[in-house]
Structure 1
Amino acid sequence: MVERVVDCRGLACPAPVLKTKEVLEKERPDRISVRVDNPAARENVSRFLSRQGFGVTVSEDSEGYLVVGSRLAGASDLAPGEEEILCTLSGPSGEKLLVLIGTDKLGRGNDELGQKLMTNFIKTLGEMVPQLWRLVFLNAGVKLTVKGSPVLDDLKELERQGVSILVCGTCLDFYGLIGEKQVGETTNMLDIVTSMQVAGKVVTVT
């Protein structure tokens, strides 16, 4: 059995996922242990390994987190390329709408008005289902996904209707909100960029 240990401590998003992906493609290990030092990297690497056909366990110690992936029976010996992963996750290209939200206020001018407009915008997104495929929150936009957000219930309802919600892990960490997220998947820039490639149309709100 081929086993590999990868140290990704100190690496910024999306480097831990990219380094793990490189090892899988070059060495095709049956078991891989990835050492990371922050919750965002832990979630991103765990999700990536799961998508590659690995059973994943996570432990925490004084050095951070250890993500261990063991190849499941029947899984391919070759890690699929990013395009294959995205096709599995997203459905047909050209049919789905992605909305990229990089702020917690809509428009420039009065902040109070901007917050009200953003709340109304999120509440109205339900009218775009089923065309609406994925919401991506980054920078100050991640504040809309945490405790106390006025649109939490609306986002959870969109998720219930099948809308995928991705939340930038680096951004959550920057604002000290990693433990406050209430909806969506913590993600990395690799997932965000490839999601934009797969979407039929991208709408950016900043």
Structure 2
Amino acid sequence: MKKIDARGLSCPAPVLETKAAVEQLHPNQIEVLVDNEPAQQNVTRFLGSQGYQTEVKQDGELFTIVGTGGDEAPEPVPADGQSDTDTGKIMVMVAADCMGTGDDELGAKLMINFIKTLKEMGDSLWRLVFVNGGVKLTISEAASLTDLKELEAAGLTILVCGTCLDHFKLLEQKQVGQTTNMLDIVTAMQLADKVINI
């Protein structure tokens, strides 16, 4: 069993160390120690994307993730679970909970209208990524939550930065999307035909 001690490492270091071990060693079993929930979620999801069955044990603030694979090395795929054969589309990255500068109240209204209008992109909208203050749009009291849930239910993959949620103490309040890390975001950028930053 390959063991990785990623305690004290901030995102995306735990996932990067896990990814390196999987790609270089192809272990049938891997154990990763982390000391925060975003890292636990990201490592668990990454191992799942690589064909591992995962089990998570928690002892206080320490998480032990054990991934067990088959006899053969899993087929490598990007961290967000997409293969290279998937059709790249448009990725929209939202980095704030309001649009533009000058008046935050107006900016908040514009952002809500923007989220409501995203469905007009149809199948071209491939990924919706929230970072920094943008993660506030994914929590329980956000005015945009209903529209985001509708987009997700329609098949859109929504990624929400775990480090950002943790920074704003909003991890438990997230109601939509997958908690993600910078490796997933960069991978999505590479696979997208076009990236729109808001």
The two structures have a TM-score, normalised by structure 2, of 0.94
What does 1:1-206 align with in structure 2 at a 5 Å threshold?
3-72=1-70, 76-77=72-73, 80=76, 82=78, 86-87=82-83, 91-93=86-88, 96-205=89-198
CA distance in 1, matches of 2:184, 2:79: 11
CA distance in 2, matches of 1:72, 1:182: 34
Amino acid at match of 2:83: C
Task: After TM superposition, give the deviation of residue 82 of structure 1 in Å.
Answer: 3.7
Task: After TM superposition, give the deviation of residue 85 of structure 1 in Å.
Answer: 5.1
CA distance in 1, matches of 2:161, 2:74: 28
SS of residue in 1 equivalent to 2:197:
strand
CA distance in 2, matches of 1:38, 1:71: 24
Structure 1: tracts of 5 or more residues without a match: none
CA distance in 2, matches of 1:18, 1:170: 15
Q: Which stretch shows the higher mean deviation, 141-150 or 57-66?
A: 57-66
CA distance in 2, matches of 1:171, 1:144: 12
Task: After TM superposition, give the deviation of residue 21 of structure 1 in Å.
Answer: 1.1
Q: How many residues align?
A: 198
Q: 1:28 touches 1:79 (CA, 8 Å); kept in 2? A: no
Q: 2:79 touches 2:183 (CA, 8 Å); kept in 1? A: no
CA distance in 1, matches of 2:135, 2:70: 34
CA distance in 2, matches of 1:51, 1:79: 9
84 and 60 in structure 1: CA distance in 2 versus 1, 3 angstrom threshold: closer
- State, as a whole percentage, how many aligned pairs show the same letter: 51
Amino acid at match of 1:111: D
RMSD: 1.8
CA distance in 2, matches of 1:203, 1:25: 30
Amino acid at match of 1:139: N
Task: After TM superposition, give the deviation of residue 62 of structure 1 in Å.
Answer: 2.9
Amino acid at match of 1:109: G
Task: After TM superposition, give the deviation of residue 72 of structure 1 in Å.
Answer: 3.7
Structure 2: tracts of 5 or more residues without a match: none
Task: After TM superposition, give the deviation of residue 63 of structure 1 in Å.
Answer: 4.9
CA distance in 2, matches of 1:144, 1:121: 12
CA distance in 1, matches of 2:63, 2:176: 22
Moved over 3 A (4+): 81-86
Q: 1:101 touches 1:137 (CA, 8 Å); kept in 2? A: yes
Q: 1:55 touches 1:72 (CA, 8 Å); kept in 2? A: no
